[in-house]
Amino acid sequence: MTVVEEYVKPFIKNDLVPFVIDAAIAALIIFVGFKLIKKLEKLLKKTMMKRGVEESLIPFLTSIVTIILKVLLVITAIGILGIPTTSLAAILAAAGLAIGMALSGTLQNFAGGVMILIFKPFKVGDFIEAQGYSGTVKEIGLFITTMTALDNRTIMLPNGPLSSGSMVNFSREENRRVDWTFGIAYGDDPAKARTVLLDLIAVDERILKGEGFEPFIEVGALANSSVDLKCRVWVKNPDYWNVYFQMHEKVYNSFKANGLSIPFPQMDVHVHNT
């Protein structure tokens, strides 16, 4: 027996054949696993589309799931080959931790964007107030939300604070209540002022009528210079601002025509001679 035969034959007999078998099993597992993951990816996309998940979020979620499954599949195949996977898992965990710490702010905004797209506290076209800003939502991204203010400024808010902070959505409900305070002079008749206001409300078709939408008009305060009437009505959300502003001019003209005064701040000074 030659020297080559002496060393090669034991390797072929003891190591090579089991290794080839293990390699074949690992390759088969990877091949079949990738096929199954691809089918699972298509099924996941269809399921999320049926459940109304935000379209911009579907590709990201499916890619995250497939990447995780593929990494686990490769680690499993490496383990079949007899290579220790504990160290590999530790390296991946340490790398993930380092990346997470380096991108903590970015990841927070990303997580906030995912939460907004899933739970939908607002949508594109809604008028919201958040983080000290108010405007109409134009775009909801994975990291920032873009709004347009009333004066046409573009406002970009990071999704992290936006998803975890307080937010007011003025467009979520179909109807919205309009509140006014109208002052009349001391000595004027509040009942007459109430009648004038009810007449203005009755002829405005934009103001909702019927059960549950009855107008509220009552004396709200006896101020320093006026008797203040609180007036509340309900309108459709898109009509809110037009009704709110236009009613002021109507009330001014109607009060004037009916002999009701809208007082301005004044002070009485009494001088006593001693």
CA torsion angle 5 11 16 22 (round to 10): 160
The CATH architecture one would assign to domain 175-257 is 2-Layer Sandwich (3.30)
Lowest mean pLDDT among 76-80, 155-159, 205-209: 76-80
> Is domain 3-102 annotated with CATH 3.40.640.10?
no
Best-predicted range by mean pLDDT (74-88, 140-154, 234-248): 234-248
For the chain, give the mean pLDDT.
84
CATH topology of domain 122-169: SH3 type barrels. (2.30.30)
| Percentage with pLDDT > 70 across the chain | 82
What letter represents residue 219's amino acid?
V
Question: Residue 34's pLDDT band (boundaries 50, 70, 90)?
Answer: confident
**CATH 3.30.70.100 placement within the chain:** 175-257
pLDDT on residue 35: 87
Q: Please, where are the H alpha helices in the chain?
A: 3-11, 17-50, 58-80, 86-102, 104-119, 159-164, 190-203, 240-257
Question: Residue 109's pLDDT band (boundaries 50, 70, 90)?
Answer: confident
Q: Assess whether pLDDT exceeds 90 at residue 54.
A: no
User: Are the C-beta atoms of 146 and 155 separated by less than 8 Å?
Assistant: yes
Q: How far apart are the first and last CA of the chain?
A: 141
For 185-226, write each residue's pLDDT tens digit.
Answer: 999 999 999 999 999 999 999 999 999 999 999 999 999 889
**CATH 1.10.287.1260 placement within the chain:** 3-102
Q: Assess whether pLDDT exceeds 50 at residue 4.
A: no
Q: Assess whether pLDDT exceeds 90 at residue 139.
A: no
The more confidently predicted of residues 133 and 78 is 133
